[in-house]
Structure formats: structure tokens, C-alpha cells
Structure 1
């Protein structure tokens, strides 16, 4: 329901903060006091059109904040979640209008487009006014209202489920046909690609393994080259052993041995040369052993590189990563398999789609039959409410007509429209076109009395629903507003004391002058002030004791 409404600098309202509760709230005041400004302000918060003229003279902007407290199951929460807006116990709609006519909208302090604000507003408030009718006047809501009246939600849900299953089967059939058509266009290429990749036979993780092995083989090759180079430095460079360090050491030793007798220094040199020859021989043995162990397989490196380069070339050709080649081969095989087995699969999907359509048609037909049955009951129930509202000649007609198959939907195969006649012999027409403003508001009230249980909108606003009536008819309007308010929150702008006496809360709208500027004020009335206001509505400008006594009688009768 609407919990509060805050208005800043809208036309004649400088600052206004109102709180509302459940049940029936009435707003009264003299003509021109500014009651329409309140409704226009609420309309701003609900996403209605903004105009520069709404900004109070001399101010740069106007602002309206409407706070709602719908139940957790209310569809407004789902819409907010769909839009990525966090929701809590409250839904806060805020609208700012600048003096140049531009506006900004916010939901729970998140900036949004006015279209979303309007969608949320339509879920939270329904306005029935003298000129602007929304909610019941919108034919798009009529099938849901009829279903709610007849408790047909299980049938409607079954239709929606059957519709989703049918459309899902149709999509699967369409996709299969498109896949086969595409595969047939590419059949020659597809068979070549499958054969080429099958011959290549890429394996999971193969690229990493080959790259690692290649790196290792390349390292082994460099190691073998280094060992061979070291050996070449210490081994003979010709057949006679010339150029080798070992030969040079032996020649040096023989030269020293020819000394007779060798000197002490020569003996030490011979000992060192002998040790050098032993160390050199040991180094040669070690290097030869290492050379034997490190000798790489030259063909293996070549084989690894050829395989790695072939995999990468295939990946480039088919524009996938090497790691995805096995999956790509599987996908191509599946496409080829679908092509080979496509006719049978399409036939099966076609049959499934036909069965799903038949199930939807059966469920929708049952819903249509139930709607026709309950449409008659709804017409009779509304007719009982019309006579006391001075609409005894009016009749509600519920039209249920089949739609073209292209227009079938989750709500069924037919179009439900509420039509009305206000005089005998008149052709039924749409609610918003056939009745006058006051008649239309009372028609809406009669419908709401009957349909309140199924209404998803928690707050109703009636603007002068009592226009042009009085006495017993006005009392009947007030009694029905009170009945609707037992289930929904109702706000009504009224000039009727009989309606005002029914309110659980009463607000007086008055226009005064502060300084040199006109200003609209709204005052919640306590019991004595409320008695005085109803007496004013009964007596006019001069309130008499008789009017006060009549006000007491109205209040007592409404209690």
C-alpha cells in the first residue's frame, strides 16, 4: 500500500508530508483548493508526464517521493529484481522535475527510466478519475481479472505451462531444421574436415606435452654439442696425434728425461707432467662417457616438431586453439551425424511439437469454456451493484472472442474485453468510451466491489467518483468504497458528505495565502474537526447546528 507521500514545490504546494494507512482515506475541500494537485503529484511519482508548469513559481525544481510497502509476493518486487534493483520492505518512487520541464526518476535511490517507473506505478496504484482512467479501463487486464474472479488461476497456469512447452518444442524443431540446412550446405567441406582432423587425431593435452619434450630435446642437443667441443680440444687433431694436449705433455716429459742426470727441478717438473697426463686422461674418459650418454636421437626432435607444427597449423586453419581441436573434431562429427540422421530427428521433433500444440489447444480450450461460464456470473454480480449507484440502466457485457493463432499466448487463445451499455438499445462499447466521467467512475467502483479479491494492485485512487449524485446514491457509493477498502487501500477525493463519513482517515485540502503567495495545505482531521468538515459539506458556507447534527448522524451510521 501507499505508506507516505512527500511533495516539494509542486504548483501551490511548498512542502507537504502525508502518511497513509490501510482502509479508506478521504480527501475533501472546497473546489479549487488543490485536490487535483495532490493527484497530479502522485501521478508524477507513478511515471506520468512531467511538465515545467508543475514547478512552483520561483523554484528551480519540484520533487515527489511516494513510499510503498507491498507484500513480499507482490509482482513489483520481481520487476525490480529483473532490473537489478535491490528491494527491501519498502519501494520508494522518486521523481524530480526541473523548471525547464526535464525530469529524473529513481527507484530505491537507483536512477531509472520513466518507462520503468510507469510500469512499477501501474503495479502499485490504480487511478479511476474523471478524465484519466487506467487499470480496469485497459482491456489488457480484463482476462486476468475474469480469471481471478472465477478462481481460474490453476487453469491459466496450466495453459501458460503448455504454451511454454509448445514454444520450446517449436524452437527445438526450428533449430534442428536450420542445423540440417546449414550442414547440407557445407556437407562436402564438413566431410573433408572430419577426415582431416580424424587423420591428425589430436589428443587432450598433446600440445603441452610436445612443447615440453621439444624443449628438452633442444636442450640435450646443445649439451651434446658442448661436450663434443670439449673433447675436440683435448683429443688429437690429426692421425699422428698432433695438436692434442696429451701429446704435448708426453713430448715435454721425454725432453726432460734426456737430461743426465736430471736436476731436482726437472724431477719435480716430470712429476707434475705425469699428474697432468693422468688428469687429462681422466677428463677425456669422463667426457667420452658423457658424450655417449647425451647423444640425442636426431629423428625424435624432427618428429616432435613436425607433429607440433601440424597441430598448430590445423588450429589456425579451423580458428580454434590447439587444446580445443579434439572438441572441435567432436562437434564436426556431431554435425555430420546430425546430417546423416537428421531426417529422422526432425520427424521426431515435428511429432513432439504437434503433440505439444495439441496439449496447449486442449488446455486453452478448457480455459475458454471456464471463462465463458464465469463471465456470465461476473456480469450478473456487477449488475447487482449498478442499480444502487444510479446506473440501473447500465449493463456489463464480457466479450470473449478467439484470436488468430499468431496471437495465442500464455494467457490463452481468446481475447477478453469488458464492454458496457448505459442505456437500453445501445450497442456495447469500451468502458472508457461509452460512459461519462462520473458514470465511468461508478462503473469502475461496481467492478472493483466484485473484483477486489483478485486485484493485484494494492492501492486504488478514485477522483470524485460521486460527481453528479447525492443522497441515497452517494451513500451507496460510500458503502461500496468501504467494502472495497476492506481488502485494498482506497484513497478518494470527494465532495459528498455521505462518502466522507465512511473514511477511516480524513484529510482536508485547503488553499490559503502566506505572505503574498497562494498555498495549498493538507491537514489530517481529528474527530471534532472531521465533524465540522462534514457539517460544512452538508450546509455550505454557514455551518449550522442542524448540519452538525446531520454530520453526527452520518458518522454514526458509517461506524
Structure 2
């Protein structure tokens, strides 16, 4: 509910503070006095797109502050939470328009964007007028209005959930088809590569081992000759034979020299042991250096094959095993792909059936709600002197979506037998006003927390019809808040709170002011609306009669 509106330096308003209350609030005044400026200023602080030039001539900037009461269950709380803005039972919006066109906005003293203001405004204010494209005249909102009237939130939530499930199932099916098609394109490569890798079956570290073995075999012939010569030098024809002869000769002479050869004999015996060990080691080495030339050829062929395969697939030789595992996994996905895709297709069909069932249920509920809404609006049109007009809610099939398969539009025919058409195109100014009011009376029971603004919605009607319009506006205001900009004395007479908008010229400056009216002031204002500039006693009496 709008509690306070503070306007500074906007168009022809220098400073204006307005306090609003629950019930029917009426703004009256002569044409051009500035009533529309109040709505422009309110729209500005709510982030609505409107006039480009709003700053009062000569001022550095214009500023509007609006204060709203928020009940605990008000929809604005969710918008504030999502935007990370502070909440509470009071909402204060402030927006500044600099002379150079820059705009800055705050919500509860926290900077925010114009988009956040517009989202908040959808939960705070609803504007109705003959040229309004934000409310009832906008066909894009008719489906939501019908669903609200029919209390179809739960059914619509089921459709949204079913749509979400169907969309997810279709995405999974499409992704699987794409992936399977991609794998099929490389099926020949995968099968050939896996066969090639399996045939070679390289082991981690094998490439390094083969390279080392190959190098040793390539140099073995030269090394074997040197080792053989060393073996001969150490053997019986070499060092071992000479040492054996020396040992034999010294042992024959040892007794004659009375122990002088004991130490040399012991050392020579130890040397014989070492020579024997060296000989065995050299023999082992010769055995190791003995190889079949075919073995070198086989090692080279395998080494080159491993390296060629690694280059072909762009991986390190030691990673060929892991690469083969990866290719086998992709082949397995291909082999299992048809079965997996069939499962996903079945799930998508089931999800489509679930969505179709939910959408059909919602369609049936909408048709029933449309019948009730049409009857309710027709009942409201009779007191508004439009008993011959026809209102209908059109529901036609459209492409499936999260809101179902229905396109909803409010259509009217102003005379019996005349073709129906869109609300905004068929009805004239006065008729349109009454259609909008009748529709809003029927819809208001399904909405809460909104401040309803009617901008000259009573234009083109008078007398008993204007009185009926006023009574319907008063009915709407019960338990809520309605702001009406009007030229109709019948409507103004039913107000709970009344302001007069006036324009005054001071020097060369034109300013607009808004004055709250007490009971006597209201009588004079309504009398002026009845009789014009010259207010007579008869006009005052008529005003008092209207006020009841």
C-alpha cells in the first residue's frame, strides 16, 4: 500500500509531499493542472519507462521518494530477497534524475538497478487507463489473470514441473543422439586403433627397456672381443697359469728356506682365489654378450613399432596403454549407445505424455474458469449501462510451453451481433473504461497487496453510469487502496480521501500543487466539477447530495 510520495523538482512540481491512506483516494483538478505529472513521477520512481525530460527547468536534478507498507505475505519480499536487498514491513524507493539524463535508484537506502524497480513495481502498483499497456489491455498478461481468477496456481505448477521434466528428457535424448552420431563417425578409426593397440600391447616402461637392450646388443660385438682377450689374459694361458706355476715352484723351495716363503705363498694363494673369481665374472659377461642377431632385429622392430604408434596418436609411449583403455571405453559407449538411446527415448515419450496430461488438465480448468469469468464480467456490465455488450475469454491452442498449450485473450463485442475483437481495439473510450472496471472488479478478489491506479477511467461517461463506475471503484477500494484521477463528480463524491491538483503561475514560473480537502472543501470542489468556474448554491447542494 502506498503511504507517502515525495516529489522534488519534477516537471512543474518544485516540492510536493503527499500522504495516502487505504480506501478510495481521488485526485481532481482542471485539465492541465498536473494530475498526469503525479503519475509520471510515481512511474519514474517505480522504474517505468516514460518521459525523457522530467527535471524541472532550472533545477540540477529531480527526485522522487515513495514509501510503501508491506505485509508479511507481500510478493515484494521475494523480489527483495532475490536481489539481495534489505526487507522489512516498510519499503522506501528513491530515484534521482540528473539534468544530464543520468538516473540513480535506491531501495531501502541500497543502490539498485531500474530493472529491480520494475520488478518491484509489478508487485506494488497496477495502473489502468485508456492507453495503459501494462495492465488489462496487455494480452500477454491475460493468461496469468485467468489463472489467478481460477485459482489455478497448483495445476499450473504441475504443468511447469512436467514441462521441466520433458525439456530435460528431450535434452538428454538429443545429447545422446549427438554423442552417438559423433562416435559412429569415428567407429572405423576406433575399431582399427583398438585392434592395433591390442595387437602390440605395449607395457609402461617397455620402450626404455627396449632402447637400452638394443644399444647393448649393437655394441656387444666390440665389447665381446675385449672381454674374450681379458678372459685369455686371466686364464691358464695367462695370469692364472703363471700364478699356478709360481705357486708350485715356491712350494718346492719353501722347506729349504726355513719359512721365508710362507708370506709370499699365502699372498699368492689369495691371488689365485681372486683370479678365479674374476675369471668367472668375465665368463658370465661373455654369456650375457652372447645373443642371436635375430633378437636385435626383433627388439628394433618392436621399439620402432611402439614409437610409431605413439607418434600416430600423439601420446607418450608409456601412455599407450591408458590411451587404449580410453578408446575401448568409447567403443563400449558406441556398442551400448543404441540401448541407452532407446531408454532415453522411452523416458522422453513418458515425459511428453505426463506433460500432455497436465496441460490437458490445465486447459480444462481454464475453460471452466473462463466460463465463470465471462459470466462475472457480464453481470458487472449491466449496472455500468452496458447490458448489451458481450465479453468473452478466448482460449486457443498454441505451441506447448511451461504455461501449457493455451493462448488466452480477452475479447469484446459492444453490440449484439457485432464481431468480437481485442479489448483495446473494439471498445471506444467510455466503453473501454467500463470494460476495464468490470473486469478489474471480477479479478480483484484474486489479488492482494496491489495499489490500483485508475487514470481517468471514467472518461466519456456521466450521470447514472458515472455513479455506477464510482460505486464499483469504491467496492474495489474496500480492504485495499485505489487511487483515481477523475473529472467525474459522481466518482469524486464517493472518495474516502480527496486531493485537488492546481496550477499556479508565480512570476514567470508555473508550478503545480496538490491540496488535501476537508469536507467543505470537497463540497466546493465537487460543485466546481458540476457547474464549472462559477460555483452556485445549487451546485453545492447537488454536491452535498452526491456525497450523501
Q: Is the Cα–Cα contact under 8 Å of residues 400 and 416 in structure 1 kept in the other structure?
A: yes
- 1:96: how far off? 2.5
Pair 51,140 (structure 1): closer, same or farther in 2 beyond 3 Å: closer
CA distance in 2, matches of 1:430, 1:119: 26
Moved more, 184-193 or 42-51: 184-193
Query: Does the CA-based 8 Å contact 1:50-1:103 persist in structure 2?
Result: no
Quote the residue 1:12 is aligned against.
12
Which one has a bigger Cα radius of gyration?
Answer: 2
2:95 aligns to what SS in structure 1?
A: strand
| Aligned CA distance change for structure 1 residues 369 and 545 (closer, same or farther; 3 Å) | same
Q: Distance in 2 between matches of 1:497 and 1:50?
A: 29
Q: CA RMSD in A?
A: 3.5
Q: TM-score, normalised by structure 2?
A: 0.71
> How far apart, CA to CA, are the structure 2 residues paired with 1:141 and 1:200?
68
Residue aligning to 1:66:
66
Aligned to 2:349: 354
Q: Is 1:402 aligned to residue 397 of structure 2?
A: yes
SS in 1 for 2:33: coil
Q: Verify: 1:125 aligned to 2:125, yes or no.
A: yes
Deviation at 1:53, TM superposition (A): 3.6
**Partner deviation per Cα, 1:25-79 (whole Å, 9 max, x = no partner):** 1111222211111111112223333545422111122222223334444444334
Tell whether the 8 Å contact from 2:470 to 2:491 is kept in structure 1 after alignment: yes
Q: 1:424 maps to which residue?
A: 416
- Pairing 1:383–2:378 present: yes
Give aligned pairs, total. 437
TM-score, normalised via structure 1 length:
0.70
CA apart distance, 1:341? 2.0
What SS does the aligned partner of 1:398 have?
A: strand
Partner residue, 1:484: 476
Once the two structures are superposed, what CA deviation does each residue of 1:154-213 show, in whole Å capped at 9, x if it has no partner? 2222212211121122122223223333444566569869x89x9889xxxxxxxxxxxx
Question: Secondary structure at 1:66's aligned position in 2?
Answer: strand
Displacement of 1:552 after TM fit? 3.2
Structure-2 separation of matches of 1:451 and 1:179 = 50
Q: Deviations over 1:68-110 (max 9, x none)?
A: 3344444443344444444443444333323344434444444
Q: Is the 8 A contact 1:26 1:503 kept in 2?
A: yes
CA distance in 2, matches of 1:456, 1:180: 52
Q: CA deviation at 1:361?
A: 0.7
Following the alignment from structure 1 to structure 2, what is the Cα–Cα distance between the partners of residues 178 and 75?
Answer: 42
- Structure 1 528/155 Cα, relative in aligned 2: closer, same or farther at 3 Å? same
Q: Unaligned stretches of 5+ in structure 2?
A: 205-309
- Cα separation, 2, equivalents of 1:335 and 1:108: 57
- Is the contact between residue 52 and residue 100 of structure 1 (CA under 8 Å) also seen in structure 2? no
Q: Which SS does the other structure have where 1:408 is aligned?
A: strand
Equivalence for 1:46: 46
Q: 1:27 corresponds to which residue? A: 27
Structure 1, unpaired ranges of 5+: 202-312
Q: Quote how far apart the aligned CAs of 1:508 are.
A: 1.6
Pair 383,344 (structure 1): closer, same or farther in 2 beyond 3 Å: same
Relative to structure 1, the CA distance from residue 337 to residue 105 in structure 2 (aligned partners, 3 Å threshold; closer, same or farther) is: farther
Alpha carbons 1:123, 1:456 under 8 Å: kept:
no
Given that 1:7 and 1:64 are in contact with CA atoms closer than 8 Å, whether structure 2 keeps it comes out as: yes
**8 Å contact from structure 2 (residues 194, 327) kept in 1:** no
